[in-house]
């Protein structure tokens, strides 16, 4: 398979939101309370009232050498314009051969944590709605053939969250962020039954709940003093926890059309996990009393209700026949350090070489189109959507990002100190 022949849709990329995104989108009575970017002599930082947002340039390293994957960008001019400018983003997507992408938020946290934490529920809801209006209208609406919209929810109030799902669906948005573990955010457990109104709204509208890695504001931790590479390698463990919560749940009786997406968790571990889950159900259900709808089991729940995705996972591709290929999607993760941009097509062509063309097409674009109700071919012909066509359309693009600085020993020390403080706070 030639890279130029591929059609690529990524179900996980990120926006470093522009500073003016709330301008004119917040009700007048709340305008002064809108999130803002504060500037010092050396940095720019998002704030929502007294709540500090996530780093403005969180892991925005696209185009930088690996030695520059150190301290996050603290100014817009320390990262590629494609991180925050929609037209430049499309230019970068074309240079990397990516037709379309679903974009997660940044400064709000991946499940909108920051905007859910303000003291006034009405203000929180207004800011979340303003974010969604900007995302759907200004970001995705600028290039409707290039973006799958994904909204935030007022998760602090399940009825408000359900209403926002319905409002977003009316705007053509059928994906929303949800926490990989809401209980970690001091919200009701996924097992509590309190999320039922939200789940009902998602079923009614065909909306997918996207659980991005890190959307619980938790980090994977190993032994004290472990090198930073250890928790980075273990990051998919949080996704394993999420899948365990989903599979061993009673919501599937009540919401047979409900779907979740496990974002950035890789897939190579899934066959083992499903094998283990089936074993537990077969051997232990006599005393645990756990039952599945209509005589099904853990693997059936996964196949029917859970989407998954990966950036680069050769082992997962070797084991693809052990789970539902119709629910597997590809992700680029632009502009983060795990991303394969701008060489994604070449990597895919190599890693997918043993797969038949139908399977390749499902993973690279058809599954995303189906599940997220997205049809780029309503705007452009398939022959104009290939890697080769997109790269020819955009011409030469300088994919090297020449800002930032090389990592130093003090960068690692500072990162470990920050991680230790966050861990101590969590405890």
pLDDT in tens, 224-267: 778 878 878 888 888 999 999 999 999 999 999 999 999 999 99
Q: Region 286-312: what's the mean pLDDT?
A: 93
Torsion of CA 69, 75, 79, 82, to 10 degrees: 140
- Please give the sequence-ordered ranges of beta strands (E in DSSP) within 125-240, or none if there are none: 147-148, 175-178, 208-212
- Strands 147-148 vs 306-310: parallel, antiparallel or unpaired: unpaired
Examine residue 183 and state whether it is found in any structural domain, yes or no.
Answer: yes
**pLDDT at site 426:** 45
Domain with 139, as residue range(s), is 9-426
Percent of the chain at pLDDT > 70 equals 96
Which DSSP string do the residues of 57-92 spell out, in sequence order?
BTT--TT--GGG-SSPB-SGGGS-GGGT-HHHHHHH
Tally of structural domains, the chain: 1
* Per-residue pLDDT at 274 exceeds 70: yes
Helical spans, DSSP H, in 106-157: 113-116, 121-133
Contact 178, 201 (CB under 8 A): no
Residues 6+ apart with CB under 8 A from 379: 144, 145
* Per-residue pLDDT at 399 exceeds 90: yes
**pLDDT at site 427:** 44
Q: Region 161-177: what's the mean pLDDT?
A: 98
φ and ψ of 38, to 5 deg: -95, 140
Instruction: Indicate if the alpha-carbon torsion angle 263, 268, 271, 273 is positive or negative.
Output: negative
Examine residue 3 and state whether it is found in any structural domain, yes or no.
Answer: no
Q: How many C-beta atoms lie closer than 10 Å to residue 370's C-beta?
A: 14
Residues 6+ apart with CB under 8 A from 159: 197
Rg (C-alpha) for the chain, rounded Å, is 21
CA distance 129 to 110: 16
Examine residue 280 and state whether it is found in any structural domain, yes or no.
Answer: yes
* Per-residue pLDDT at 33 exceeds 70: yes
Contact 88, 399 (CB under 8 A): no
Examine residue 4 and state whether it is found in any structural domain, yes or no.
Answer: no
* Per-residue pLDDT at 425 exceeds 80: no
* Per-residue pLDDT at 311 exceeds 80: yes
* Per-residue pLDDT at 221 exceeds 80: no
Q: What is the pLDDT of residues 55-69, one digit of tens each?
A: 999 999 999 999 888
Bridge partners, residue 175, by sequence: 208
Percent of the chain at pLDDT > 90 equals 82
Q: Is 197 exposed, middle or buried (0-12, 13-18, 19+ CB in 10 A)?
A: middle
Examine residue 377 and state whether it is found in any structural domain, yes or no.
Answer: yes
pTM: 0.94
CA distance 181 to 176: 15
Binned at pLDDT 50, 70 and 90, residue 1 comes out as confident
CA distance 170 to 353: 40
Chain Cα centroid distance, residue 54: 15
Q: Looking at residue 235, which CATH number applies to its domain? A: 3.20.20.140
**pLDDT at site 92:** 98
Examine residue 2 and state whether it is found in any structural domain, yes or no.
Answer: no
CA distance 240 to 273: 8
Examine residue 30 and state whether it is found in any structural domain, yes or no.
Answer: yes
CA distance 355 to 348: 11
Contact 62, 401 (CB under 8 A): yes
Q: Is 196 exposed, middle or buried (0-12, 13-18, 19+ CB in 10 A)?
A: middle
* Per-residue pLDDT at 277 exceeds 70: yes
Examine residue 109 and state whether it is found in any structural domain, yes or no.
Answer: yes
φ and ψ of 74, to 5 deg: -110, 5
Q: Region 128-139: what's the mean pLDDT?
A: 98
Residue 45, classed as helix, strand or coil, is: strand
Q: Is 190 exposed, middle or buried (0-12, 13-18, 19+ CB in 10 A)?
A: buried
* Cα–Cα distances in angstroms (integers) from residue 171 to residues 107, 168, 330, 348, in the given order: 23, 5, 25, 33
* Per-residue pLDDT at 419 exceeds 90: no
Residue 163, classed as helix, strand or coil, is: helix
């Amino acid at each position: 398979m030639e890279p130029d022949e591929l059609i690529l849709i990524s179900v996980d990329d990120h926006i470093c939101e522009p500073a003016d995104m709330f301008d004119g989108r917040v009700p007048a009575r709340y305008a002064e309370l809108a999130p803002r970017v504060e500037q010092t002599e050396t940095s720019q930082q998002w704030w929502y009232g007294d709540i500090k947002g996530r780093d403005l340039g969180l892991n925005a390293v696209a185009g930088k050498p690996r030695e520059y994957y150190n301290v996050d960008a603290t100014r817009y001019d320390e990262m590629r314009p494609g991180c925050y400018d929609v037209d430049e983003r499309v230019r970068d997507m074309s240079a990397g051969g990516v037709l379309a992408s679903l974009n997660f938020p940044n400064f709000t946290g991946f499940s909108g944590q920051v905007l859910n934490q303000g003291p006034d529920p009405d203000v929180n809801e207004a800011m979340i709605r303003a974010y969604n209006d900007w995302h759907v209208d200004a970001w995705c609406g600028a290039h409707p053939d290039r973006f799958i919209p994904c909204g935030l929810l007022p998760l602090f109030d399940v009825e408000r969250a359900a209403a926002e799902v319905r409002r977003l669906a009316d705007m053509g948005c059928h994906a929303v962020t949800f926490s990989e573990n809401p209980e970690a955010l001091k919200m009701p457990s996924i097992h509590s039954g309190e999320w039922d109104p939200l789940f009902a709204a998602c079923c009614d509208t065909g909306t997918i709940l996207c659980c991005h890695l890190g959307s619980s504001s938790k980090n994977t931790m190993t032994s004290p003093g472990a090198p930073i590479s250890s928790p980075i390698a273990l990051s998919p463990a949080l996704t394993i926890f999420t899948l365990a919560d989903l599979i061993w749940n009673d919501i599937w009786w009540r919401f047979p059309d409900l779907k979740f997406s496990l974002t950035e968790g890789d897939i190579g571990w899934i066959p083992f996990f499903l094998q283990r889950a089936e074993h537990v159900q077969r051997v232990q259900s006599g005393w645990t009393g756990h039952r599945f709808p209509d005589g099904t089991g853990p693997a059936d729940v996964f196949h029917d209700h859970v989407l998954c995705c990966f950036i680069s996972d050769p082992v997962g591709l070797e084991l693809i026949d052990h789970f539902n290929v119709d629910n597997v999607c590809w992700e680029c993760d632009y502009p983060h350090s795990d991303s394969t941009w701008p060489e994604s097509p070449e990597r895919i062509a190599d890693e997918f070489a043993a797969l038949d063309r139908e399977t390749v097409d499902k993973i690279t674009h058809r599954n995303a189109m189906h599940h997220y109700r997205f049809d780029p071919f309503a705007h452009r012909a398939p022959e104009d959507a290939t890697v080769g066509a997109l790269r020819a359309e955009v011409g030469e693009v300088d994919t090297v990002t020449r800002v930032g600085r090389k990592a130093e020993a003090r960068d690692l020390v500072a990162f470990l100190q920050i991680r230790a403080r966050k861990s101590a706070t969590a405890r």
